[in-house]
Amino acid sequence: MLRAYKQRGNLFGFLLFLLLLALAVGALSIWRMMHPEPHSSSNIVFHGESASLATEKNFTTSDRLLESMDSEFTSLVDRAIPSVVSITTTAAPDRQALVRQFFGLGGKNTNSASKMGSGMIVSPDGYIVTNWHVLNGAAQVSVQLSDSRILPAHVAGVDQRSDIAVLKIDAEGLTPIEFGDSEGVRVGQMVFAVGNPFGLQETVTQGIISAKGRRTTSEAANEFFQTSTTINPGNSGGPLIDIHGKVIGINNFILSSSGGSEGIGFAIPSNVARRVYEDIVHLGHVIHPWFGILWQPLTPTLARQLGLPDTQGALVAATYANSPAEQSGLLAGDLILSFNGRPIRDGKELRNRIAEAQVGTPVKYTILRAGQSLELSVIMEEEPPH
């Protein structure tokens, strides 16, 4: 009897549980019917004006940023293009070939060779900055503006060491472009190249700064920006601009196995170009700072012989008599570790830091002498004529 009672009790409890559960589910359903949840826009079917408003709202939230970016980029390019010029140079004909042709002795073709490049207007009175190698060997130089005017240009000055040249044209209604500060350039920032690749005027390409402080096998006394921006033959001398439309580099050369752009281009920092331009316009020539030393490569073997921990630094082989280096107390055998607040890896880097110094301005540098670190000060002078 006791077992049967327990079974009837369990059955009654189970039935009571089912009844309460059914009441709860029913109450919840009624509450949801009385309090519907707002649906997402993807589950609502609009008709007429409601559908139009919803579409406009979705378009605004998803595409407004892209529209703004597109407008900024096109406006940036529109401002830059009038400042960029195409440069055509013509070399003088071979005199010996002309003489041979005159006397009917045959010989090679006497047609003058021509080259094309790019440049940028940097002043309203007609000064143009470009690369020296664009003008090298030219007998005549002509410039085509963005408004299709073709004008003769004369060379105001060149600096082969930095591969920068300055042209002058006589024209009105020119739109100069503004130099930016290349010291503030950061790796990864967006840049645009504007130029005349393969003779295609007003070509614009976009990329980023891939690296700073690149060195080359040339004797250029400056380092380069590496950029992913597409640069091809004819872009040389054209501007590399930032998102504010300011020039932060002068497109110079590419590394390529095919002869075309492979995303490894190099540009001269704008501060170098601006210094050369200002020297040529205001002084008539380019001032090169002079330190006055001979340095030798610091190999691992030599570093061990001198008891040095590594090969970092520029090892002084000798100083020129009465040079700023000698007057500052520098001796042969000293190891220059920093110059003007920047570390020195080797002699080439020291040469670049010297090129950036200001003539007549004191510069502090650190050396290692007999195991001791010393700080010296030098006043830079203008490089004497050779």
Give the catalytic positions in this structure: 133, 163, 236
At 376, phi and psi to the nearest 5? -115, 165
Q: What is the C-alpha separation between 275 and 287, in angstroms, rounded? A: 9
**3-state percent breakdown (helix, strand, coil) of the chain, nearest 5:** 30, 30, 40
Helices (H) and strands (E) in the chain, counts: 8, 21
Query: Phi-psi region for residue 304, left (φ > 0), alpha (ψ -120 to 50) or beta?
Result: alpha
CA distances (Å), 70 to each of 8, 28, 77, 217, 225, in order?
A: 79, 52, 11, 39, 26
For residue 288, give the amino acid letter: H
Separation CA 140–CA 88 (nearest Å): 8
Segment (H or E) for 249: strand 247-254
Q: Report the b/e string of 40-77 with b at 16+ CB within 10 A.
A: eeeeeeeeeeeeeeeeeeeeeeeeeeeeeeeeeeeebb
Alpha-carbon distance of 239 to 117, in angstroms, equals: 12
User: Who contacts 141 (Cβ-Cβ below 8 Å, separation ≥6)?
Assistant: 87, 88, 89, 90, 135, 152, 153, 154, 155, 167
